[in-house]
Amino acid sequence: MNFDYILLIIVFSYLRRALQSKILLPQIDKYLAIGFWFSIVLLITGIILNFSRVTTSWIAHAMLFTLIYFCLTQKEFKSVKSFIYSILPFVAVNFIEDFIEMINSPFHEEWDNYFDTAIFFSIVWFFAMFFINRRQRIDMEREQLKAIELEKEFQQSENLKAKLEVQVAERTAEILGQKEELQKALDKLKATQAQLIQSEKMASLGELTAGIAHEIQNPLNFVNNFSEVSSELLEEMNEEIEKGDFEEVKNIAADIKQNLEKINHHGKRADSIVKGMLQHSRASSGQKEPTDINALADEYLRLAYHGLRAKDKSFNTELETNFDTNLPKAKVIPQDIGRVLLNLFTNAFYTTHQKQKTSSIEYKPLVSVTTSFNENRVEIVVKDNGSGIPKAIKNKIMQPFFTTKPTGEGTGLGLSLSYDIVKAHDGELKVETIEGEGSTFIISLPLNI
């Protein structure tokens, strides 16, 4: 049996199978098919007609060398080069054996065993390389499949990314739209808040009206009284001038001067009250200025007290002031801090008044205000002995629109606005309370000078 044609059949069969997945030119596939069937025909013919081995071997060598040349030089056969390299030892040994047999038969017969051994090892090499290459090809195909899967996954991820980008763009546009709506709502809320603040100020101004009337009446009474007394003194002075008693004229003139000074003092006092009322009623200028906290607290304490007294003549409370005489002026917005103090004083008077009306034991209402200076901060303490604040609502009293007063008596904005004002001054507003015994509100403000 001639193994050269068997090898040719194997090679043609392998090449056609290995290149099935490739896009080949029609003539290449045609030549491979022709070579495959031609090798089978020659093998059968050689077996049946018993051609000489030399003739068939050289035909097989010519076909093998031609096939190997094309496989190594044509790019279409690049994937089968490793297979071609695996058969090269067998082809070379077989060719050398046939060539030596042709030119020197005795030498060939003498070394025939060595040639058979070489052919055996070349066949072993062929099968070893064949299986190794097959394994490598399988691994390579697996890697290619993995690469294809990875490419599919990458493509899917790219598609998903594109979809997500579209969704993100849509969501971003939606969020921007919502942002614009929220901004509009915020602007409306700020405008509403400003209106509420102004309404709260006007409401508190209404409560102050009676107190202001009472406060301004006192200096006006002094002005009127001292004016009448001064008029009488002038008449007396004219009489003394006619008598020529100039010493008495001097004494009367000194009394008139004192009266004029008192008139000036109480006139300024009335002017101060009116200015305070106007400052409280109009929008805050936002400008901080050095302010006498003692005078501010004293003024709003009395205004709040007389405002409540005007509503209910039966109400009476003890007012206690403990002002630090060495308290420096703090740089604040006077009308804003005055609004905070007015709210705290009003709440203190309200709670003591309610306790006075409902208490079954002897009860003396007391509201006190204390000022002090500590560690570059001004402290204002407003204390009452009213009903106190229940623990359940203590954390809610600074919330907007929260109120314990009956409907129509409170907006629930007083403490909330007071808290915001103090915070805007970089200060703190704290509350200490014992239910049934009273509350203490502590304002702490930086000096800011």
List, as one string, the DSSP characters of 211-261.
Answer: HHHHHHHHHHHHHHHHHHHHHHHHHHHHHHHHHT-HHHHHHHHHHHHHHHH
> Domains in the chain, ordered, with CATH?
3-157 (no CATH), 286-449 (3.30.565.10)
The two structure tokens encoding residue 163: 């979809």
pLDDT at residue 1 in the model:
41
**Per residue in 403-439, is it b (16+ CB within 10 Å) or e — as a string?**
bbeeeeebbbbbbbbbbbbbeebebebebebeeeebb
- Distance, in Å, from the CA atom of 12 to the CA atom of 352, rounded to the nearest integer, reads 114
- 377 beta partners: 374, 446
Max CA pair span of the chain: 185
Residue 263: other Cβ atoms inside 10 A: 19
- Distance, in Å, from the CA atom of 225 to the CA atom of 109, rounded to the nearest integer, reads 161
Q: Render each residue's pLDDT in the chain as its tens digit; 449 residues.
A: 455 656 666 666 666 665 654 544 555 666 666 666 766 666 666 566 555 455 566 777 777 777 777 777 777 666 667 777 777 777 777 777 777 777 777 776 777 777 778 878 877 887 787 778 778 778 877 888 888 888 888 888 888 888 888 889 888 888 988 888 888 888 887 777 666 665 555 555 555 555 566 566 666 776 777 777 777 777 777 877 877 777 777 777 787 778 777 787 767 666 666 665 555 455 555 688 888 999 888 888 887 887 777 677 777 888 999 999 889 988 888 888 888 888 888 888 888 888 888 776 788 899 999 999 988 899 999 999 988 888 777 767 766 655 656 544 554 556 778 888 888 888 898 888 888 888 999 999 988 75
- In a 3-state reduction of DSSP, which class is residue 448? coil
pLDDT at residue 380 in the model:
93
